[in-house]
């Protein structure tokens, strides 16, 4: 043996067995639900061939760039070699390629070209869904860019933002701009109304200069930004709270000496994830800006941006789940344990099937929001659609953000120890998922936004919800294979209606304590109805039916279960606090 050189672990030999790596295949061709959904709603050859070609490019080329972004994170160069302040955020070549690719592929433009009418948003978001986990987080600037274009469109594409609008929505890489969204200051990112200290000093030409400190600004290599500030009156006074906030547009540009105009980049954040992308603290020291909203209407005006970025967030969450499932199922065909492939262990398959069910639910919920957005933007939306869009946007964002962390975490475990190894690329998926429930409104803040949407519409958003969820079930009345799922959703809807009636008679604090469970209930029940509806479509598969049945085994209406246990009685609040601070 020794003479023949067969000793397997001697000197440079490290054994003869090497694990095959999981392979990323075309994410469009690998996704039965995505293709089924599009066959049902957007059966256009042009969309299919574009998504298929893009999927091929993502798997074979773009995914490598995404990895390059992760291992070559941005860095901040404060000074040039001669001591002049330059504040250059140096990004990787791959990050710059992502920008060009995004323009060429129309990843923002598609939403504004509207070539597929009311289904244009579904098409755009399908592309982003395929792209997101390979994008090196470039989906973050794209989300804000899309949000900024939406705000500009809603207030009117005219000076001083007409040029910007053209650049945000172009397909020409050399013209393409990205936008930032600078809302968070040191005093608070959720409570923007109290947290914003930035002042806008009026100039004689009608423009402003902004002075303040923005505590989190992502993708800070952007070309422009939308931001909030308090306009000073003639005496230099500002109005506190939400009523004092206005929306401003500013360009990120440099003077002839190469110095940023009116901005100092204090430092880049050292983050758990999203490391591919710069997130900076910015001192605004006289940033030239234009006011876009009426004075005091800043939050309401930036809400259009929040709607868009929250939808992008939900797409990224569903996409992260889909990616980890795709890789995990591939790995299960390659890895052997206890004498057989992982795919032949029923318990392992059960684990992956549960992840698949969560992923399918998230996908359908998010696509529903995209469908509604597309209807609104193409002038097709009914009042019911508008109410549903308002309610389901925060619901989808908060629910999928949490699901993504759970599913991706389970996904990492399905690779065993390799799931924990940095250069497999897998840990980055988990790190990046963790932010999805924090930025663009935390889970609690969005749960309260759900209550806001109910209050502002005098309950009409809930009326729309019940009406539409029931109509989704109606098509399944003859589908006996789905009967247990239909029964579960129907029963949960009744429980939810009862909850709403009882809650309406309680003190205001009651609903606040129930807000998170209410939002989860809205998400789970509606998703159940969507899965059932999809399983009833003539092109549906037996897996679509199975997924619906499995989803509906969840506690679909946790808010009713907990209400029955007295969880929201006001007496629980001091008990919760006492428990937390028990020493
Ligand atoms: O975190 C960020 C990350 C950037 C990266 C982007 C990534 C995207 C995904 C990428 C995937 C990879 S940017 C910062 C995000 N910040 C937030 O999301 C803030 C979270 N906080 C909230 O949402 C709060 O609820 C606030 C700030 C909206 C609360 O403000 P107020 O002023 O206290 O709230 P009010 O007084 O209730 O509302 C003021 C006005 C009202 O309208 P009017 O004045 O007409 O009565 C509300 O109806 O704003 C309106 N409004 C809304 N309208 C408030 N929220 C909404 C809404 N969601 N939709 C429509
Ligand atoms: P806080 O508001 O202090 O919240 C702390 C906790 O309190 C949370 O769990 C929250 O849910 C809870 N809470 C707060 N209020 C309530 C309430 N009323 N009831 C119950 N619970 C409550 N911001 C930007 O503007 N632009 C950006 O580009 C940007 N990029 C970011 C990038 C990264 C990587 C991260 C992590 C953040 C970024 N942010 C950005 C900031 C982000 O939007 C905020 O961090 C987020 O909105 C939360 O605000 P906060 O950090 O002030 O938390």
Confidence at residue 408, expressed as pLDDT on a 0 to 100 scale = 98
HEC string of 503-562 equals HHCCCHHHHHHHHHHHHHHHHHHHHHHHHHHHHHCCCCCHHHHHHHHHHCCCCCCHHHHH
137 and 199, same domain (yes or no): no
Task: Answer whether residue 400 shows pLDDT above 80.
Answer: yes
Task: Answer whether residue 364 shows pLDDT above 70.
Answer: yes
Interface predicted TM-score (ipTM) of this complex, two decimals: 0.99
In a domain, 341, yes or no: no
CA of 75 to the centre of ligand 2 (A): 24
pLDDT top residue among 10 and 16: 16
Task: Answer whether residue 102 shows pLDDT above 80.
Answer: yes
In a domain, 186, yes or no: yes
pLDDT digits over 448-492, tens only? 999 999 999 999 999 999 999 999 999 898 889 999 999 999 999
**How far apart are the C-alpha atoms of 365 and 397, rounded to whole Å?**
10
Q: Residue 557 sits in which domain range?
A: 442-583
* Average pLDDT taken over every residue of the chain: 96
For residue 160, whether the previous peptide bond is cis, meaning omega lies within 30 degrees of 0, is yes
In a domain, 500, yes or no: yes
In a domain, 292, yes or no: yes
In a domain, 435, yes or no: no
CA of 404 to the centre of ligand 1 (A): 22
99 and 183, same domain (yes or no): no
**How far apart are the C-alpha atoms of 13 and 506, rounded to whole Å?**
72
For a ligand 2 pocket test, name from 148, 442, 447, 448 the mutation site with the most ligand atoms within 8 angstroms of its C-beta. Answer: 442
Which residues neighbour 63 within 8 Å (Cβ) at sequence distance 6 or greater?
24, 134
Ligand 2, pocket residues at CB < 6 Å: 181-184, 188-191, 216-218, 271, 274, 279, 435, 438-439, 441-442, 444-445, 448
Q: Give the strand pairing for 179-182 and 208-218.
A: unpaired
Among all bound ligands, the one having the nearest atom to the CA of 180 is 2
Confidence at residue 8, expressed as pLDDT on a 0 to 100 scale = 67
Confidence at residue 14, expressed as pLDDT on a 0 to 100 scale = 73
One-character DSSP codes across 203-219: -TTS-EEEEEEEEEEES
Burial 78-110 (b: 16+ CB within 10 A, else e): eeeeeeeebbbbebbebbebbbebbbebbbbbb
152 and 191, same domain (yes or no): no
In a domain, 357, yes or no: no
Confidence at residue 334, expressed as pLDDT on a 0 to 100 scale = 96
582 and 447, same domain (yes or no): yes
CA of 306 to the centre of ligand 1 (A): 6
> Whole-structure pTM over 0.95, yes or no?
yes
157 and 208, same domain (yes or no): no
129 and 224, same domain (yes or no): no
Query: What is the percent of the chain with per-residue pLDDT over 90, rounded to a whole number?
Result: 94
Domain boundary among 107, 136, 168: 168
143 and 229, same domain (yes or no): no
**How far apart are the C-alpha atoms of 365 and 434, rounded to whole Å?**
20
pLDDT digits over 121-135, tens only? 999 999 999 999 999
247 and 267, same domain (yes or no): yes
Residue 352, token pair as written in the block: 């992956």
103 and 81, same domain (yes or no): yes
Q: Indicate the pLDDT class of residue 19, thresholds 50, 70 and 90.
A: confident
Q: Which of 342, 323, 324 is nearest to 332 (CA)?
A: 342
Confidence at residue 574, expressed as pLDDT on a 0 to 100 scale = 93
Residue 119, token pair as written in the block: 């289904």
Domain boundary among 105, 133, 168: 168
Query: Per the structure, how many domains does the chain have?
Result: 3
- CATH number, residue 228: 2.40.110.20
Q: Which residues pair with 213 in a beta bridge?
A: 283
219 and 147, same domain (yes or no): no
Query: What is the percent of the chain with per-residue pLDDT over 70, rounded to a whole number?
Result: 98
Mean local confidence (pLDDT), 298-306: 96
Domain boundary among 298, 331, 346: 298
Task: Answer whether residue 1 shows pLDDT above 60.
Answer: no
In this structure, the residue with its CA closest to atom 51 of ligand 2 is 189
pLDDT top residue among 290 and 12: 290
Q: Is 491 exposed, middle or buried (0-12, 13-18, 19+ CB in 10 A)?
A: middle
Ligand 1, pocket residues at CB < 6 Å: 139-140, 143-144, 181, 183-184, 189-190, 192-193, 218, 242, 299-300, 303, 306, 309, 312-313, 316, 439-441, 445, 449, 452, 456
Confidence at residue 15, expressed as pLDDT on a 0 to 100 scale = 78
73 and 154, same domain (yes or no): yes
Residue 20, token pair as written in the block: 């095959």
163 and 54, same domain (yes or no): yes
In a domain, 293, yes or no: yes
For a ligand 2 pocket test, name from 186, 438, 449 the mutation site with the most ligand atoms within 8 angstroms of its C-beta. Answer: 438
Confidence at residue 454, expressed as pLDDT on a 0 to 100 scale = 97
In a domain, 303, yes or no: no
Confidence at residue 5, expressed as pLDDT on a 0 to 100 scale = 59
Q: Beta-carbon neighbour count of residue 251 at 10 Å?
A: 18
């Amino acid at each position: 043996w020794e003479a023949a050189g067969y000793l397997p672990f001697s000197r440079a030999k490290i054994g003869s067995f090497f694990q095959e790596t999981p392979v990323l295949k075309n994410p469009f061709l690998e996704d039965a639900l995505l293709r089924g959904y599009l066959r049902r709603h957007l059966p256009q050859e042009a969309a299919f061939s574009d998504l298929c070609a893009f999927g091929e490019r993502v798997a074979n080329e773009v995914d490598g760039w995404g990895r390059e972004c992760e291992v070559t994170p941005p860095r901040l160069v404060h000074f040039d070699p001669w001591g002049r302040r330059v504040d250059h955020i140096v990004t990787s070549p791959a990050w710059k390629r992502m920008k060009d690719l995004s323009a060429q592929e129309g990843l923002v433009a598609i939403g504004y070209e509207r070539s597929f009418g009311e289904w244009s948003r579904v098409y755009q978001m399908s592309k982003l869904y395929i792209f997101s986990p390979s994008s090196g987080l470039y989906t973050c600037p794209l989300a804000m860019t899309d949000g900024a274009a939406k705000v500009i469109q809603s207030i009117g594409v005219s000076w001083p933002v007409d040029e910007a609008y053209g650049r945000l929505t172009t397909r020409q890489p050399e013209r393409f701009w990205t936008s930032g969204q600078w809302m968070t200051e040191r005093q608070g990112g959720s409570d923007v109304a109290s947290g914003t200290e930035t002042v806008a000093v009026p100039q004689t030409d009608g423009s402003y200069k902004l002075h303040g400190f923005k505590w989190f600004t992502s993708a800070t290599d952007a070309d422009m930004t939308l931001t909030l500030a308090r306009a000073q009156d003639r005496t230099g006074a500002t109005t506190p709270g939400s009523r004092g906030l206005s929306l401003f547009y500013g360009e990120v540009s440099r003077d002839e000496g190469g110095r940023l105009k009116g901005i100092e980049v204090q430092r880049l954040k050292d983050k758990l994830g999203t490391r591919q992308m710069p997130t900076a603290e910015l001192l605004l020291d006289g940033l030239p800006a234009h006011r876009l909203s009426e004075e005091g209407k800043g939050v309401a005006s930036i809400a259009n941006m929040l709607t868009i970025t929250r939808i992008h967030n939900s797409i990224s969450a569903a996409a992260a789940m889909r990616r980890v499932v795709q890789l995990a199922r591939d790995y299960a065909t390659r890895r052997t344990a206890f004498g057989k492939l992982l795919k032949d262990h029923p318990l392992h398959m059960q684990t992956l099937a549960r992840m698949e069910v969560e992923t399918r639910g998230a996908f359908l919920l998010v696509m529903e929001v995209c469908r509604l957005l597309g209807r609104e933007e193409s002038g097709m939306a009914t009042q019911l659609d508008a109410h549903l869009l308002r309610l389901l946007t925060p619901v989808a964002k908060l629910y999928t953000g949490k699901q993504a962390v759970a599913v991706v975490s389970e996904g990492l475990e399905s690779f065993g120890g390799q799931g924990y190894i940095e250069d497999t690329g897998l840990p980055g998926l988990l790190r990046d998922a963790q932010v999805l429930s924090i930025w663009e409104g935390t889970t609690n803040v969005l749960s309260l936004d759900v209550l806001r949407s109910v209050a502002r519409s005098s309950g009409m958003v809930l009326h729309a919800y019940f009406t539409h969820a029931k109509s989704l079930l109606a098509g399944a009345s003859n589908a006996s294979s789905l009967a247990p799922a239909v029964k579960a959703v129907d029963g949960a809807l009744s429980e939810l209606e009862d909850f709403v009636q009882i809650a309406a008679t309680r003190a205001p604090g009651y609903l606040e304590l129930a807000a998170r469970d209410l939002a989860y209930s809205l998400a789970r029940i509606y998703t159940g109805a969507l899965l059932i509806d999809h399983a009833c479509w003539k092109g549906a598969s037996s897996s679509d039916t199975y997924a619906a049945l499995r989803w509906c085994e969840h506690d679909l209406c946790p808010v009713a279960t907990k209400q029955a246990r007295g969880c929201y009685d006001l007496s629980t609040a001091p008990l919760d606090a006492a428990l937390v601070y028990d020493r």
